[in-house]
Amino acid sequence: MGRIISFLRGPFFIYLIMVIFSGNYLPAQNSDGNPELDRKVEAFLKSKKNRWHDLNVPDTDGKLLYDIIIKNGYTSGLEIGTSTGHSAIWIAWAMSKTKGKLITIEIDESRYKEAISNFEEAGLSKYIDARLANAHDLVKELKGPFDFVFSDADKDWYTNYFIDVVPKLKTGGCFAAHNVRPPGAGGISGTKAYLSYVMGLENFTTTVNNSGGGLAISIKTD
């Protein structure tokens, strides 16, 4: 008990509390990047914290997408389901470091317009090609190739999006799908069918990260 009390009074605990309350949950930046852009994106994300109300991903999932892109050096992104742009901002921020670009698709005009204004405010417009379209059609039409895809629109169409994208996904590329829970942990019917489909494929390795809204991460192995 004495040890717990001295830990709670200790400098590490105080530091931890300061980090949590300062909102400083954002990734560490490397010094040879673009510190001005980093500051702008961080300030934007901080100003919008807890203010994303259009089915947007939680911060934890945004950070997860960011980390996957940085770790693998992905440069050609596709997002299906922009909404007002929270996940696209994390993806594009990562791609500002890998020198990549993101195409993102949204069907709802008012969300699309709000996303455009958010991209501008975050300073990330030049890394994002935002399209107002029905992804059922546009995903088929886009040429690719892509090395990172984030699927977050209509869940009943997940398997169709995947089938349409796979020929345009590079080997080593990632297809990440949101709101997917691990086998046996529930989930929405469309995403359950999707997970069982991708898990049955020999040329993909799929894991599910359950730390936020549930992310199925499928890597194309050949």
Ligand X SMILES: C[S@@+](CC[C@H](N)C(=O)[O-])C[C@H]1O[C@@H](n2cnc3c(N)ncnc32)[C@H](O)[C@@H]1O
Peptide bond into 182 cis (omega under 30): no
Q: Is 151 in the site for ligand X (CB under 6 A)?
A: no
Q: Is 87 in the site for ligand X (CB under 6 A)?
A: yes
Nearest to 79 by CA among 19, 4, 151: 151
Tracing tokens 């500051």 back to the chain, one arrives at 39
Q: Which two tokens stand for residue 222?
A: 């050949």
Q: How far apart are CA 95 and CA 102, in angstroms?
A: 8
Sites for ligand X among residues 33-72 (CB under 6 A): 55-57
Q: Which two tokens stand for residue 164?
A: 């349409």
Q: Report the run of H or E that residue 175 belongs to, with start and end.
A: strand 169-178
* Count of residues engaged in binding ligand X, rule: CB under 6 A: 21
The distance of closest approach from Cβ of residue 85 to ligand X in the complex, given in angstroms and rounded to an integer, is 6
Report the residue from 86, 97, 181, 220 that binds ligand X according to the rule CB under 6 A: 86
Looking at the Cβ atoms of 6 and 47, the one nearer to ligand X is 47
The distance of closest approach from Cβ of residue 176 to ligand X in the complex, given in angstroms and rounded to an integer, is 11
The distance of closest approach from Cβ of residue 164 to ligand X in the complex, given in angstroms and rounded to an integer, is 12
What is the residue-wise DSSP string for 84-103? TSHHHHHHHHHHHHHT-EEE
Sites for ligand X among residues 109-128 (CB under 6 A): 111
The distance of closest approach from Cβ of residue 17 to ligand X in the complex, given in angstroms and rounded to an integer, is 29
Site of interaction with ligand X (CB under 6 A): 55-57, 81-87, 105-108, 111, 134-136, 152-154
